[in-house]
Structure 1
Amino acid sequence: MQKRNNYIEIEDFLANESFQLWILSKVDEQGWEEWTLENLERAKLVEDARLLLLAMRVPDSKLSSNQVHEALQETWRKIEQREALSQKTSKIKKLRTQRYWISGIAAAVLVGIFSVWFFKNDILPNDNVVTYNELVEENNEGLVEQTNNTEKSQIVTLSDGSSVLLQPNSKLSYPKIFTGNERKVYLSGEGFFEISKNPKKPFFVYANEIVTRVVGTSFRIKAYPDQQNVEVLVRTGKVRVKSNDLARSVENEEIVLLPNQAVRFARKEFIFNKITNITADPVLVNSVTNIEQLSFEFTDIPVAQILETIEQAYLVDIDFPHDKLKDCRLTTSLSDQPLAEKLKIICKSIGNETSYEMNGNQIVITTSGCN
């Protein structure tokens, strides 16, 4: 059971950093909105905590202790006035109890203020931060959002055939159908992209303060809202990375990345650090996933083994008639293809009206055997 399910006081919410981030920065990585809708009995507490947090929000990053003290005193004065007007007949003991309770709220609010202030000013300066919600709001198309709240990666197949391996605690917004002369998606968290080739319709991934432009290639982006760096690592093809229009940028520098190259964008300093030898970077080496390590070049390999490789790479389950494919072998290259295209090529190579159906991470192949 989540810890928040035991919250019974306003100060419980005010002391929660993810709640502060949701209210003050509109970053709902912990699903507060959905949780509130599912726990309507606590909606009043959530709203009261939200109003208090917003009322005490500090716009200036540099406050003296006197200013903080004066702000709290003023808030306390208004609370006392309201209590005096609405509860003139209340007993002194009750007023003292309420005073202690409200003082606790004020203290929790103060903790919340400085937690958010520290996060925004010491880790990520205000003028640099671009949130996932801001990026999505800039798009005037109707977007579909895929959120991965599970403990394993999920496959997202886009209308153009491109695929995204979305990692846990990540989400992706994208149009149901790509229109116009561009393809745009929005990422919060981490995803491995395999883009369907279309030179006339470039593909853009917006993530935090940067945008990655590709035509047809495979690459990984790691862009969590609470981390100091954004990373882009290219497996095949070529990508271009630069700051997006919502972020502060002096020169709007563009970085070109080729296979096995990466860029690490420091959000606080607003600096791009290009890495031409990813094997020499311990952080990148330790973060490499199966799909980036496995080879998709097959020479006279049993179909069952090829399908097993795909299962390992994408963490999917493939159901197929083993007895009908036990003698089937293929020679094919699937290195620069999205998952859907890989499956199409395999089915076409097997022949005999072989087809597949994909439902989330479950894939079913139907066939009467190989040619």
Structure 2
Amino acid sequence: MDHSLDTCSAADFLLSDEFVSHQLEPTPETALLWDAWLASNPPNLAEWNRAVYLLESIRQGLHQYAGKVISEEAIEGLLARIRGTNQRQAAPVRRIGYPRWAAAAVVVLLSGLLAYWWLGRQGSQSYYTTRMADVRNAFTERVNQTNAVETIVLSDSSVVKLAPGSRISFKPSFDAASREVYLSGEADFKVSRDVRRPFLVYANEVVTRVLGTQFTVRAFDAEAKVLVNVSSGQVSVSKDQGIVDSGKPQSASGLLLLPNQQAVFSRQSEEFSKSIVPEPRVVGTAARKPSFEYDAVPVGQVIRDMEEAYGISVLYNKEQLKNCELSASLKTETFEEKLRVICTTINADYQKLDGQVVIHGGDCR
């Protein structure tokens, strides 16, 4: 497999005949080639996965999402290839042969060994201790050695709820430029808004930056992942670049998280992934909260209510579902249960991707 693929973006893959041919009509030969490339843990694996999903979205008629990545002309070209494939295959079924399963097993085994080695290496190192050694100014440290959550009020009135077995360091009085804290373990932050001074949380290799919001950070030394979960407002997360010559912390570009979204940072691959939190909560104000009572209401309106209440984007084929209606009471259902009712009603299914929901299919004619 050509190693130039290691620098390809999702758009590059979608415009690659080699990639599209394998996705539409895989053969044992192409499966072996792509399995070998995937087993090499390429740096742009997330882009490959995104391209796979985008191609499937185009197949399902969800062009608006793919339109953010490639041109309308390119989408039309892919649709023509998909139609041609469908005509050649009366009942297309994608099968994964033994070589693919074998390659997948090797990947899982190698990943497990890497995780074991990495966690063992972490036992002799502490990111928190190393990072704090680089801080020139005096910080106050609080360690929660109890079995209950400890509440800490900072000098700017921000509130930290420190989980058992966790520790946090902060300045007794924040300076005029920024508000910085260092965390080892897990804590929930309710940050007082100050547009002049961003609030920075350094936790393992991740920097979380906010102006004023509520979020949770989990970053224990012994764990291979860092989790940032947003309850309200918006948060940016990026990889910590350490201390530069000027003595000021620097951070690289990362992800922007909105309410009910979370980011997971793999300390092995040093990559972020974004998703919806396990149990989304209503984030809209009481005045704008939908009633979730429907009597022959267009599904498009129901989906808009979901987006407004939970702050989560829902992508779907508007033309395909324009005649769909819903009659149901969804007042007590969770976000996930609401989605299931909607999709069952319109004969569709859904997928959560990159902090969004994508509804596939549906037919109400």
Q: Which one has a larger percent helix, Structure 1 or Structure 2?
A: 1
Whether these two folds match at TM > 0.5 is no
Name which one, 1 or 2, has greater alpha-carbon Rg: 1
TM range (shorter): 0.3 to 0.5
Q: TM-score, normalised by structure 2?
A: 0.42
Using the size of structure 1 for normalisation, the TM-score is 0.41
